[in-house]
Amino acid sequence: MASIDTSPEVMLTFYRRLYPFKSIFNWLNHEHAPTRLFTNREFAFTLPGDVYLRYNSFSTAEELKKQVCNLNPTRFEVGPVYSLRPRDKKTARPGMFVPLQRELVFDIDMTDYDPVRTCCSGADICKRCWVFIALAVKVLDVAIREQFGYENLLWVYSGRRGIHLWISDKEAMELTDDQRKALVGWMTVVHGGHESSKKLNVRSASRSLPPPLQTAVDILNETFTDLILSDQNLFASKEAYETLLEQIPDPQTVSHLRTKWTNDPDRSSEDKWKDFKKEVKRYENGSSQRNNLVAAMEDIILFYTYPRIDAEVSKHRNHLLKAPFCIHPKTGRVCVPVDPERIDDFNPEAVPTVNQLLQELDTSCRSENWERTSLKPYVDIMDRHALRLMERVRQEKRGKGM
């Protein structure tokens, strides 16, 4: 990858000529004329030298652009809609300045998958391990729409190693912190970080999976062989297959598999999974031993491939999250919206960088904005999303006879 220039001069040019402020306004505001959803919205700016400015608010997209170009931040974040304009916070009486609305947000970060990926680690990411993120998008997009009935979901690539989800349905935006905590608790199956080594506890007394998780297993099972067994070859080492054996509840099966794999250390992950399946079939169909092992296989698929949600991001209305179309300072890539229907085709390494976009702008002498650059298809995704939100507001107003 070519060297990335995210100097103040480059960033200022990007904000002045390319950043789609109007699209951001439409998305956050849900209407053409300014409403509380925008005017009472918090924006926070990160300036060079790690200076952090909170509780900024604006009346229009033009005001926001003017201040962004004036401050020239390395990035900026979007927060909740408050009871008062955030810029008036210092003059507010105690208890009068409180968060009222906020998109329900989810954050999936590749580093939480370090225990289950072999191609990269830490901040690194490649097309191979991006499949984990693509799976997360598929599972969560279906689950959130089917379980909670939310429709207005915006997926945004973080610019480096993860993806954010913003849910703008009115009902989602009005959730309290306790309701958000309960919802994300329901959605969390595998904890990220140090807790990821814990066994799953997702089954009822009947040992059956809840229907939403059974749907997830059906989606994940299609990719488990290709991703975990073949591509990542995750159970190749002794340490890795011992972790797998810890999740098998039948001592006899564990003993047979450990002996076989110890005697054949070069056995591939695919072969080891086939060995496990053969052991399961040794027990009579319908027996408790076989049912328990089948359940364990499903739990293993969930453990290695189910979305790993950063729950803290989702629990609180006053949490700030990086705005779409910001530039990631390490990669220079734009934080672009992603079409969940085409997530398998999305390549994070092909996302335009700020330097690439400015070069495209310079070669297109008739253009002074993003419309003749490779940013256009991503802004189009945002604009289509904003239009759906605006149409819903129009329909609600018609229904009320306004």
Q: What percent of the chain has pLDDT over 70?
A: 95
402 pLDDT higher than 90: no
- For residue 192, the model assigns a pLDDT of 59
Q: How far apart are the first and last CA of the chain?
A: 54
Nearest residue to 390 (alpha-carbon basis) of 111, 132, 168: 168
- For residue 108, the model assigns a pLDDT of 95
Q: Are 301 and 224 in contact (CB under 8 A)?
A: yes
Q: Are 29 and 37 in contact (CB under 8 A)?
A: yes
Q: Tens digit of pLDDT for each residue in 354-364?
A: 999 999 988 87
Query: Could you give the C-alpha distances from 26 to 10, 40, 150, 265, in angstroms and in order?
Result: 26, 15, 19, 58
Tokens (6 digits) for 201 = 């506890």
Q: CA quadruple 225, 228, 229, 232: dihedral positive or negative?
A: positive
Mean pLDDT computed over 126-145: 93
Which region among 247-261, 298-312, 364-378 has the lowest average model confidence (pLDDT)?
364-378
- Split at pLDDT 50, 70, 90, the class of 4 is confident
Q: Tens digit of pLDDT for each residue in 187-233?
A: 988 875 444 555 676 776 667 888 889 989 998 998 999 999 999 99
C-alpha–C-alpha distance, residues 324 and 158, integer Å? 8
Catalytic residue numbers, as ranges: 42, 107, 109
Please, what is the angle between helix 251-263 and helix 238-246, to 10°?
170
55 pLDDT higher than 80: yes
Which region among 42-51, 188-197, 385-394 has the lowest average model confidence (pLDDT)?
188-197
Q: What percent of the chain has pLDDT over 90?
A: 79
Nearest residue to 99 (alpha-carbon basis) of 286, 317, 331: 317
- For residue 242, the model assigns a pLDDT of 95
With vertex at residue 214, the alpha carbon angle to CA 212 and CA 216, rounded to the nearest 5 degrees, is 70
Element (H, E) at 154: strand 153-157
C-alpha–C-alpha distance, residues 367 and 163, integer Å? 30
Mean pLDDT computed over 132-148: 95
Mean pLDDT computed over 277-288: 94
Q: Tens digit of pLDDT for each residue in 116-126?
A: 898 888 878 88
Nearest residue to 380 (alpha-carbon basis) of 393, 368, 370: 370
Q: Tens digit of pLDDT for each residue in 326-344?
A: 999 999 999 999 999 999 9
Q: Tens digit of pLDDT for each residue in 7-42?
A: 999 999 999 999 999 999 999 999 999 999 999 999
- Split at pLDDT 50, 70, 90, the class of 401 is low
Higher pLDDT, 3 or 259: 259
- For residue 126, the model assigns a pLDDT of 84
167 pLDDT higher than 50: yes
